[in-house]
Amino acid sequence: MVYACVLQHYIYTSPPASIDVWIQAPGYIFGSLSEIWVLVTGIEIAFNNSPENLRAVVTSVFWVTIAVGAAIGIALTPVSQDPYMVWTYGGIAVAAFLAGCVFWICFRDGGRKGEVLDGVDLGGRISRESTKNNGEVNVKTQKL
């Protein structure tokens, strides 16, 4: 979004038709790739880390959060017009940076507390499924 903000500023300040349309392509490419990575990773985490009988519910809650984000985007469409696109892209960039900082503050110790996500925690341990007893999984953890 910072790239799009700076580019939009140059578009507004330069003479008409002086900036090639291909210079705008990275903004769309990065935006598309980030959405793909967020959606695939979010669905994987929601599905793999929820109990078997709640996977549909957890996955649907994930999709509801995506729908809320899309609704906010639709609601902001009337204010996303020329000549205010620099503010739109800049606001999104600042909001994303602040959200990233808050996320880091909230979850920076996640791997050090021994929490396991998809079998690998950030503390350098691998958990292995040892036995299944009546649907319960016993997990053993060993040091790398």
The share of the chain scoring above pLDDT 70, in percent, equals 76
Average pLDDT over residues 22-38: 91
Q: Which residues pair with 131 in a beta bridge?
A: 138
What is the model's pLDDT at position 128?
Answer: 46
Amino acid at 55: R
Least confident of 15-19, 37-41, 134-138: 134-138
User: What torsion do the CA atoms of 111, 114, 116, 121 make, to the nearest 10 degrees?
Assistant: 40
What is the model's pLDDT at position 46?
Answer: 83
Give pLDDT tens digits for 63-117: 999 999 899 989 988 888 888 889 888 988 999 999 999 989 988 876 555 555 5
| DSSP label at residue 127 | E
DSSP 3-state of 123: coil
Going by C-alpha positions, the residue among 1, 60, 61, 49 that lies closest to residue 27 is 1
What is the model's pLDDT at position 32?
Answer: 92
CA–CA dist 133, 90 (Å, integer) = 53
Average pLDDT over residues 124-138: 48
Sign of the Cα pseudo-torsion (24, 29, 34, 36, in order): positive
pLDDT band at 139 (very low <50, low <70, confident <90, very high): low
Total residue length of the chain: 144
